[in-house]
Structure 1
């Protein structure tokens, strides 16, 4: 039994007594390419990874929901309601309360619950710890209520919790990656139609995630501002979303538009093109072509969207140098710090790891966390009690 599951079972028993009715897992994700395209109705290509959130849940009749967050040694209690407003205390409680409220709004029979939560997705590092928590809670509550929902729908409800209750105006990339990915494959997401296309990962490919040590908070940061800028650009171009624009349209108005808005739009337009091209190249096993596109993506995030920081620029550069021509690296996630993802051949993993540990230090002067991940499946009910 995984260590995470053992600790979750022990924590549930200590807090609530006995065993849960069921346990659900939902993975974190790393985005190979397609950054800030989801809320622009564009394309993204994430991979679900090993770090995950696990939720143990047991029905306790009518009344309140009791929650213990084992990672923090903290608790919460509330009565489920479709009218639940944003929790004043913020933090992890908002994600759970918001998810429950969305499900209640959708008519899910919730009732009283005992919930224990534990995860090993690093927070504030671009690996979607919040989406993993939302999807895990939603999947667990739905399973306990006897509701079998399409993973796409679960993802959309989880997204609504983050948009409407947490106040983070994210798109649907993170939640879809956590809910609907396929073992051994990246997932090409059309964020408008919700068409999902698994892209089988080449057998000789490895995904490396290196934490820069720069932790960011997206709600407090500039994420929502970037979204507003993209919406302004779409309005100027007369399109529903930047998904519908192209470079020719942007160049036609560039002289009369704020250069900052032009740069924001250019990133999204070119990132959509890069993502579609990367999906085709990955399907063919062409790591060289994917690597070129990943490097271009990082440069666009740095110069046009302005969401990288000097340390992630440095880390992406040295990783790409060590990877060589068959692969590349880029900052992944919402930006302003977090992780850098590298795609490479298996035979380059140790050389890249050695280069990172030799030449990079976090802001505190420590060695960075380096993980080599495989493409995992989306959320699932792992254990059902007797």
Structure 2
């Protein structure tokens, strides 16, 4: 079996599938993502500016004659199965729940996916805040639809199905950003997403002599069991309280900085600080998208720094390890800006850094991080990659 495959991981899943099932599969992949700015705004109907990274989840797939879906994770050395004509499994954070969830959502929405054999592998660091879960949902959903005869897949509906799966079958009330960018991203572009309308604009990334550096703290978060759902509830309460003065608002996206300044007395702490973060983060995200389009990386970096401070102090979703990494790189020669990225409570930072300074910046960050936390962070350089696709 010979295939000019684009990555060792693609070859690995194809070979494993061949050995297990004795036939050549179709290959699908979906990328992880890093969010440049716009954190915890998505479930407030706001704006986000993510990009796909060059790490992906790969799925090898063939259809079955029945409606049984067999799963084999190469990373976890684990197997699972479910029957689309049988009862759904219990809500779970297990890896298989993400696949079963999107399969059942697509089935409920009328797509009627067939049963399938799936072999899955990923090189997205798990728990690093890089949306390995969304990549799994989107890759599996694309695979199931495609082998069932849906050759033209609606990417917005695919993203919606991934979000619905995570809500109903995993128990994380995530926004739409992670699934959307995994499904829709374009090479060398960030994606400005309006999380209310789901309109999206491709924003060119003119990085020239700069690189995107991801530093993984190694602190593993489980969003469904962390304060994520609490923050979402606090935002909903803030919206409810502000409606006393602003009856037409549907979500915090509708509140301007001026509105907040006039009416923040209606909000007790910590709800006041949660709302303040979301309102100003939306403004930062729109300004950052304009600056990125204009090639003004200095302004993008300044807004990233403001975002991290707000996430740390007002939204309180950072952690000592994330703060150490941002502190370590801020002010280093060649660093344009740095912030935590993802849901928080662990995970990674994203830094824009001049290419000729990457090694020294990693060394400085590693030195301070090791002093404080007795281990090294994991460094990943990435480019803005393409969204989900079939090979």
Calculate the TM-score normalised by the size of structure 2. Answer: 0.93
- CA distance, structure 2, for counterparts of residue 351 and residue 46 of structure 1: 26
Q: Pick one of 330, 336, 339 that aligns with 1:320.
A: 330
Cα deviation code 1:217-261 (max 9, x no counterpart): 100101011001101111111221000002232233323421211
| 1:310–1:199 distance in 2 versus 1, CA, 3 Å | same
1:232 equivalent in alignment to 2:244: no
* Structure 1 equivalent of residue 112 of structure 2: 109
1:306 paired residue number: 316
Native 8 Å contact 2:210 2:353 kept in 1: yes
Report the CA distance shift for 1:350/1:364 in structure 2 as closer, same or farther (over 3 A).
Answer: closer
Q: 1:362 to 1:77 in 2, by over 3 A?
A: farther
> 213, 217, 225: which is aligned to 1:212?
217
Deviation of residue 314 (structure 1)? Answer: 1.3
**Alpha-carbon distance between aligned partners in 2 of 1:309 and 1:45, rounded to the nearest angstrom:** 22
CA distance in 1 between partners of 2:286 and 2:119 (Å): 39
Query: Which residue pairs with 1:197 in the alignment?
Result: 201
Q: Which residue of 1 aligns with 2:246?
A: none
Task: Give the whole-Å Cα distance in 2 for the aligned partners of 1:323 and 1:161.
Answer: 44
* 1:333 aligns to 2:337 (yes or no): no
CA deviation profile, 1:171-205 (whole Å, cap 9, x unmatched): 00000110001111111111111111111111233
Q: State the partner residue of 2:76.
A: 72
Are 1:141 and 2:150 matched, yes or no? no
For residues 142-173 of structure 1, the C-alpha deviation after alignment (integer angstroms, 9 at most, x for no partner) is: 11122212222211111111111111100000
Structure 2 residue 61 is the aligned partner of structure 1 residue 57: yes
Conserved in 1, the CA contact under 8 Å of 2:305 and 2:337? yes
- CA drift of 1:291 comes to 0.7
- Tell me, yes or no, if structure 1 residue 3 matches structure 2 residue 44: no
Secondary structure (helix, strand or coil) at the match of 1:378 reads: coil
Q: Are 1:355 and 2:355 counterparts? A: no
- CA deviation after TM superposition for structure 1 residue 343, in Å: 1.2
Structure 2 counterpart of 1:97, from 95, 100, 110: 100
Structure 1 residue ranges without an equivalent (≥5): none
Aligned to 1:375: 384
Distance in 1 separating the partners of 2:112 and 2:316: 44
- What SS does the corresponding residue of 1:125 show, helix, strand or coil? coil
Structure 1 pair 3–232 and aligned structure 2 pair: CA distance change class (3 A)? same
Distance 1:330 1:351 in 2: 18
Output one character per residue of 1:70-128: Cα deviation in whole Å (capped at 9) or x when no partner.
111111111114x8544366410110110100111122232221111111111111000
Equivalent-residue separation in structure 2 for 1:88 and 1:329 (angstroms): 36
How far apart, in 2, do the equivalents of 1:119 and 1:322 lie?
Answer: 33
1:266 counterpart SS class: helix
Partners of 2:290 and 2:356 in 1: CA distance:
23
RMSD: 1.6
Alignment of 1:156-171 (within 5 A): 156-171=160-175
Instruction: Note the C-alpha offset of 1:54.
Output: 0.4
How has the CA–CA distance of structure 1 residues 84 and 213 changed in structure 2, closer, same or farther, with 3 Å as cutoff?
same
1:19 paired with 2:24, answer: yes
Measure how far apart 1:356 and its partner are: 1.8
- Compute the displacement of 1:296 (Å): 0.2
Partner Cα distance (1:169, 1:323) in 2:
39
The residue matched to 1:67 in structure 2 has which SS?
A: strand
Partner of residue 33, structure 1 = 37
Match in the other structure for 2:269: 259
Q: Determine the structure 2 residue equivalent to 1:277.
A: 287
Q: 1:226 to 1:367 in 2, by over 3 A?
A: same
